């Protein structure tokens, strides 16, 4: 046990504040499903934005980054850095439309965009597929990370740590079910600030410790390729460094993954708890600015403390196995933080954990309540009051908690779970994007794009991948197909072919559904046939301005990310260059955002 009395006092005070917030907002969440799951559609952009960032800052995230850094160095983070491109696409092309759609959940959108029994059944299917199956995998890997933290930090065995997780989840389920999204969002803000401060303090203390010796010592003790922001390719075309990120993998991340794969918090075109936050904002402008804030904070501001600790852990704990790399982060918390600060950082990780779990429980319950229970009640001609639906939502919150605890015991590595989710949804993203901008997309397009990746992933992993495996040493094998993200690419290709064939061999949605959708959301793109039938005159397209905003905001965020990193590693010349690029990008973004008034309500 490494926590002293003052550390435990900090932990208890934090948990008490969390429960207080849950009780404080209980009445505001009990009025209707909109109050419970969307905070009455009244969140300001900064609360919604911080809530998005806090939710993606789970206890597993720093540990996952530590795993990635050990395996591929800094450049390995392109596995998730690439998602900024899709995130900014969501910000400028979809955030406003999600708010205008005026639906309670992402799945309710299905029956706004599509029609017939297929849309209704698919909505119910996805409520379980996403709300239970995918959701509990996500909660499971977050739990797995928190169990690692508890085992190492408190020096307890797995069974005891699992019991603690069970107690924590009950506590989270209580405050999440009491306060709804409003309470979750408010606690998110407190938890995020605490978590960021704690991680920054840990990074500074560890980097300047005698074991590491500051930035200079860190560079001397680790190979140069560990610090590369991009894959470093030699004359033979292979990545430098035994574990360096391959150029094929880098290409896959930059050119394909950001639009092809569904991933929690980075859904192409928006979705999940990100669209939930967009729909909970005061208006369309707040939805856009909340999402923009999230992208910048998520990618540019937050990663470096984790990366620094991950690199320092390679020096201090060099003998950790690859699948134990995340433990290095936890061991650093235990070994380098003094009393008081140790409790603060432990509390920060509790906060990060609770923020994510509360959001996942609330999000999953919204699907099961609104898109399964309520929708089935409507089919059966049963009227359900809003207060009863809120009670049902609270029960589903508890049910998801129980299932997630069972799933937790099956999660191996955080990195493995993340890669599975990315690859097993490859190709779906294109349909999630195009359904807003191309009227020809129908319900069968989306159904086929949801199911095809499962088949494509299985064929890629179990049929194609073994063909490329070869022995490099006794009992040591290498597979360039896997190393270059061949599974992701082949699954994406397979899925894309399937959904395109299905789209053109099935009928379009009926005109009445498409007209209703167009009048509600007012999308741009390939909707001229519907606009003609509605006698809507042609107007100047905002798409060119949106593209400029998208590119400039993406460039701004990457430049800020690289600026901070270069300054930390004392590469001031390239740091200043990135700052100049960021400044120019900001000015371009500001001009097109405000001069063209593309976000005016």
pLDDT per residue as tens digits for the range 176-197: 888 888 888 888 888 888 888 8
Q: What is the pTM of this model?
A: 0.89
What pLDDT score was predicted for residue 233? 54
Instruction: Using the predicted structure, report yes or no on whether residue 32 has a pLDDT greater than 50.
Output: yes
How much of the chain exceeds pLDDT 70, in percent?
92
Three-state secondary structure call for residue 106: coil
Per-residue pLDDT band at 57 (split at 50, 70, 90):
confident
| Distance separating alpha carbons of residues 505 and 499, to the nearest angstrom | 10
25 vs 418 pLDDT, higher one:
25
Is the Cβ–Cβ distance between 289 and 49 less than 8 Å? yes
* pLDDT, average across residues 56-78: 86
Sequence length of the chain is 601
What pLDDT score was predicted for residue 43? 93
Instruction: Using the predicted structure, report yes or no on whether residue 273 has a pLDDT greater than 80.
Output: yes
What pLDDT digit, counting tens, does each position of 225-252 carry? 899 998 765 433 444 444 456 777 778 7
Q: Is 412 exposed, middle or buried (0-12, 13-18, 19+ CB in 10 A)?
A: exposed
Which residue is associated with the tokens 């992993």? Answer: 461
CA-nearest of 462, 476, 212 to 335 is: 212
What pLDDT digit, counting tens, does each position of 493-517 carry? 999 999 999 999 999 999 999 999 9
Instruction: Using the predicted structure, report yes or no on whether residue 1 has a pLDDT greater than 70.
Output: no
What pLDDT score was predicted for residue 24? 81
What pLDDT score was predicted for residue 140? 87
What pLDDT score was predicted for residue 235? 33
What pLDDT score was predicted for residue 409? 78
Task: Tell me which CATH code domain 5-423 carries.
Answer: 1.20.1730.10
* pLDDT, average across residues 108-137: 93
Is the Cβ–Cβ distance between 292 and 590 less than 8 Å? no
Instruction: Using the predicted structure, report yes or no on whether residue 491 has a pLDDT greater than 80.
Output: yes
What pLDDT score was predicted for residue 238? 44
Is the Cβ–Cβ distance between 294 and 52 less than 8 Å? yes
Three-state secondary structure call for residue 82: coil
What pLDDT digit, counting tens, does each position of 408-467 carry? 877 755 556 666 666 678 889 999 999 999 999 999 999 999 999 989 988 988 888 788
Q: Is 297 exposed, middle or buried (0-12, 13-18, 19+ CB in 10 A)?
A: buried
Tell me the CA end-to-end span of the chain in Å, nearest whole number.
55
What pLDDT score was predicted for residue 530? 95
Indicate the helix (H) or strand (E) that contains 472.
strand 469-473
What is the pLDDT of the chain when averaged over all its residues?
88
Three-state secondary structure call for residue 469: strand
Q: State which of 50-59, 203-212, 230-239 shows the largest mean pLDDT.
A: 203-212
Instruction: Using the predicted structure, report yes or no on whether residue 471 has a pLDDT greater than 70.
Output: no
CA atoms within 13 A on the CB side of 82: 21
Is the Cβ–Cβ distance between 312 and 206 less than 8 Å? yes
Going from the C-alpha of 361 to that of each of 47, 253, 403, the distances in angstroms are 19, 29, 11
């Amino acid at each position: 046990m490494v926590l002293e009395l003052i550390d435990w006092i900090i932990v208890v005070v934090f948990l008490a504040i969390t429960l207080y917030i849950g009780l404080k907002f209980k009445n505001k969440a009990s009025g209707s499903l909109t109050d419970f799951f969307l905070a009455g559609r009244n969140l300001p952009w900064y609360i919604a934005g911080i809530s998005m960032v806090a939710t993606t800052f789970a206890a597993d995230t720093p540990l996952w980054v530590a795993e990635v850094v050990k395996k591929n160095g800094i450049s390995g983070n392109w596995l998730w850095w690439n998602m900024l491109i899709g995130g900014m696409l969501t910000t400028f092309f979809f955030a406003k439309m999600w708010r205008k759609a005026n639906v309670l959940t992402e799945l309710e959108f299905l029956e706004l965009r599509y029609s017939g029994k297929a849309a209704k059944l698919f909505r119910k299917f996805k409520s379980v597929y996403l709300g239970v199956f995918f959701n509990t995998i996500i909660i499971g890997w977050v739990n797995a990370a928190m169990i690692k933290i508890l085992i190492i930090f408190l020096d307890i065995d797995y069974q005891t740590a699992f019991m603690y997780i069970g107690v924590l989840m009950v506590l989270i389920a209580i405050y999440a079910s009491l306060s709804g999204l409003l309470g979750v969002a408010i606690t998110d803000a407190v938890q995020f600030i605490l978590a960021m401060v704690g991680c920054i303090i840990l990074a500074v203390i560890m980097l300047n410790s005698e074991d590491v010796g500051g930035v200079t010592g860190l560079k001397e003790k680790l190979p140069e390729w560990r610090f590369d922001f991009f894959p470093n390719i030699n004359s033979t075309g292979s990545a430098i460094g035994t574990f360096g990120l391959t150029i094929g993998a880098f290409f896959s991340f930059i050119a394909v993954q950001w639009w092809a794969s569904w991933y929690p918090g980075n859904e192409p075109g928006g979705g999940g708890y990100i669209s939930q936050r967009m729909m909970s904002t005061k208006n369309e402008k707040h939805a856009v600015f909340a999402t923009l804030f999230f992208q910048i904070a998520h990618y540019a501001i937050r990663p470096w403390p984790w990366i620094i600790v991950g690199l320092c852990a390679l020096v201090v704990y060099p003998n950790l196995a690859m699948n134990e790399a995340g433990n290095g982060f936890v061991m650093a918390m235990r070994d380098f933080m003094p009393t008081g600060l140790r409790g603060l950082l432990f509390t920060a990780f509790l906060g990060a954990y609770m923020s994510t779990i509360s959001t996942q429980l609330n999000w999953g319950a919204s699907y099961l309540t609104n898109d399964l229970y309520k929708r089935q009640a409507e089919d059966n001609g049963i009227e359900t009051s809003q207060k009863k639906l809120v009670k049902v939502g609270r029960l589903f919150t508890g049910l998801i908690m129980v299932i997630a605890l069972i799933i937790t015991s099956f999660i191996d590595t955080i990195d493995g779970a993340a890669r599975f989710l990315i690859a097993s949804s490859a190709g779906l993203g294109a349909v999630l994007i195009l359904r807003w901008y191309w009227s020809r997309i129908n319900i069968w397009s989306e159904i086929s794009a949801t199911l095809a990746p499962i088949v494509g992933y299985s064929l890629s992993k179990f049929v194609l991948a073994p063909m490329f495996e070869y022995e490099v040493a006794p009992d040591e094998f290498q597979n360039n197909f896997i190393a270059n993200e061949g599974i992701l690419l082949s699954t994406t290709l397979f899925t894309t072919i399937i959904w395109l064939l299905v789209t053109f061999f099935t009928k379009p949605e009926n005109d009445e559904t498409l007209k209703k959708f167009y009048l509600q959301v007012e999308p741009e793109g390939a909707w001229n046939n519907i606009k003609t039938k509605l006698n809507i005159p042609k107007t100047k397209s905002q798409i060119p301005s949106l593209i400029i905003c998208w590119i400039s905001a993406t460039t701004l965020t990457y430049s800020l990310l690289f600026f901070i990193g270069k300054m930390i590693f004392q590469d001031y010349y390239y740091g200043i260059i990135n700052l100049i690029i960021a400044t120019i990008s900001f000015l371009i973004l500001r001009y097109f955002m405000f001069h063209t008034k593309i976000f005016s309500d």
